[in-house]
Structure 1
Amino acid sequence: MTMLDDAIYGGVNAAVLTPMTPDLAPDIALMAEHCRWLLANGCDGLGVLGTTGEANSFSVAERIAVMEGLVEAGIPAARMMPGTGCAALTDSVELTRRAKALGCPGVLMLPPFYYKNPSEDGLFAYFAEVIERVGGGIRVYLYHFPQQSAVPFSLGLIDRLMRAFPGTIKGMKDSSGDYANMKAMIDAFGAEGFEVYSGSDEFLLRILREGGAGCITAAANVNCTAGGRVVAAFRAGDEATAEAAQAVLTATRKVCTSVPLIAGLREIVARATGNPGWRTIRPPNMALKAEQVAPFLAAFDATGIGGLKRAA
């Protein structure tokens, strides 16, 4: 058995986009359609309400409505990892409790990100308070994204949290782009069942080979078919197919990050579905400029990903 087989969210997880109505409210029906497509086209799980899902542009009430609405629309809670980390401790508790009640196995938690350079004791106290108030029964995946949060997780803090809350602190999404950091976590904690997920598509095959659990990525909204091929080929021991699919993943990631990522992904999905509503985005994020669109889509098509066109 590998970590891929043992992990709760092992494999490819999309950091799911949140479509919006013209008045900038979450479009839950359209999001549910997208989630169904993702699960049918290579995704093993759904990271909803994360960075790509613009969670920190939404209120707690809006985020709860998205979680509840997706489950009511038939999206399996067992496949969802909602983002519940907020600057306010009580907001994190409320969101995590709701995810637990809905039946989500785990949540992804940013550190409290407003105050910079918090002490390790302060971060430990924050997570300890959230976990104790929620009362257990749901796993916590830490979200390491220092470029965005400016609050990194050290190996020492992870170790301390794991010792204090065994079985609850279950893994990490590492969006730093620093593979050495991902490997250090695998080496330090992988034998204890700590699931390490790359936030960068280009590391999927490597992290699977070296004991990680998979990926949770933005580009999986549009390249999950290739990600699914990587995972299937890895399981089958088909190195050539895995390498070829990984090359497509890496190429698509490079193109998607050549423009503002969320806006670019929305353009690809809008074209694939024929639904221009996918371009609606909540400020301060903005849609791509008209002159950016054609060259961006041409570069994406040149990766050879294919297979994205679907009904609106």
Structure 2
Amino acid sequence: MTTTEPMLERALYGGVNAAVLTPMGPDLAPDVPLMASHCRWLLENGCDGLGILGTTGEATSFSVAERIAVMEGLVAAGIPAEKLMPGTGCAALTDSVELTKAAKRLGCPGVLMLPPFYYKNPSDDGLFAWFSEVINRVGGGVKVYLYHFPQQSAVPFSLELIGRLLAAFPGVIKGVKDSSGDYGNMKAMIDAFAAQGFEVYSGSDEFLSRILHDGGAGSITAAANVNCAAAAAVVRAFRAGDRAAEEAAQAVLTATRRIATSVPLIAGLREIVARRTGNPAWRRIRPPNLPLAAEKVGPFLAAFDATGIGGLAHAA
């Protein structure tokens, strides 16, 4: 591969990645067999990769031991480790190291790492020291993707910090998931760092077509749990140079995203998956998150269906 190829083709996780939901048993422990079944469905229906144990996967509601058990259980169930991008960023440095080492041991190519999020307004020097310590303790062998989600973490990544990390850890700091919704920020990262092989992924479905054309790597999104067929159609059309088909698929993708975010996102996605699978266990969710209110379920599902996603859906 050459640097003249689109980033989509050069990136480790190029294309469509789902920020995977974590199903739970009656005791609210992760249901790994059910999660593995969902992961297989996602890979069969348009996903190129799987971002597990992130925001949508409610990772911060699980212990380190539970998160490692999910990683190990999925790989043992036959989900290819090379398709997994586990979330390993924690407030505690040593927890982040332990989770990242587990992902490395299992053969995951990369991890998605939140910044340490409890202490607010840390300096770039402090964040650089934190990431340096984690990377040095892990000892290489796994790529680090930065998780820029300032609305949730309240700790953003500045362009200056990303540049410092890239210079200090070439080949280790590999990319970013930007869930800020600020496309200007995504484009600024592409312009500044794509030439160094830095992969920029949108956390917002509505930007998939745009980011591919601008030199980004694709998307890592919550709604891909239910709209991955539409996202995959965008990528196929982009590769084929069929702009009309790409715009049509992107319109469906954007519509599904807007409906998904019209209610509490994780709860709404769980309702769609519960209906698709016929398994009400998907409605289980760990507090403080709650299931979607019963009176909202019918209108929400009807609005989702009205987006036209059914015309792009693969067979389940």
Same fold (TM over 0.5): yes
TM-score normalised to the size of structure 1? Answer: 0.99
Displacement of 1:308: 6.8
- For 1:20, the equivalent position in structure 2 comes to 24
- Match for residue 38 of structure 2 among 28, 34, 53: 34
Contact 1:272 1:309 in 2 (8 A): no
Distance 1:300 1:35 in 2: 21
Query: Does 2:50 correspond to 1:46?
Result: yes
% of aligned pairs identical?
80
Give the secondary-structure state (helix, strand or coil) at the position aligned to 1:222. Answer: helix
Aligned residue for 1:62?
66
Q: Does 1:147 align with 2:151?
A: yes
**Structure 1 residue 252, shift from structure 2 partner:** 0.2
Deviation at 1:84, TM superposition (A): 0.1
User: What SS does structure 2 have at the residue aligned with 1:84?
Assistant: coil
Instruction: Report the alpha carbon displacement of residue 282 of structure 1 after superposing the two structures with TM.
Output: 0.5
The answer on whether the counterparts of 2:75 and 2:106 sit within 8 Å (CA) in structure 1 is: yes
Q: Which amino acid aligns with 1:206?
A: R
Per the alignment, residue 217 of structure 1 pairs with 221
For residue 242 of structure 1, the aligned residue among 217, 241, 246 is 246
The residue type equivalent to 1:5 in the other structure is: E
Q: Which amino acid aligns with 1:174?
A: D
* Structure 1 residues 71-101: Cα deviation after superposition (integer angstroms, max 9, x where no partner): 0000000000000000000000000000000
Structure 1 residue 301 and structure 2 residue 314: aligned?
Answer: no
What is the number of equivalent residue pairs in this alignment? Answer: 310
For the 8 Å contact 1:84–1:108, the answer to whether it is kept is yes
Mapped contact 2:89–2:96 kept (Cα < 8 A):
yes
Mapped contact 1:99–1:107 kept (Cα < 8 A): yes
Name 1:278's counterpart in structure 2: 282
Residue of structure 2 aligned with 1:200, choices 204, 221, 240 = 204
Indicate whether 1:256 and 2:260 are aligned. Answer: yes
Contact 1:272 1:308 survives alignment (8 Å): no
1:156-212 deviations in Å (ceiling 9; x for gaps): 000000000000000000000000000000000001100000000000000000000
Q: Which amino acid aligns with 1:90?
A: T
TM-score, with length taken from structure 2: 0.97
**Paired AA for residue 225 in structure 2:** N
* Matched residue, 2:95: 91
283, 288, 308: which one pairs with 2:292?
A: 288
CA drift of 1:309 comes to: 7.1
Q: Distance in 2 between matches of 1:206 and 1:192?
A: 20
1:41-98, CA deviations, whole angstroms, 9 ceiling, x for partnerless residues?
Answer: 0100000000000000000000000000000000000000000000000000000000
d(CA) in 1 for partners of 2:275, 2:189: 39
Structure 1's unaligned 5+ residue stretches are none
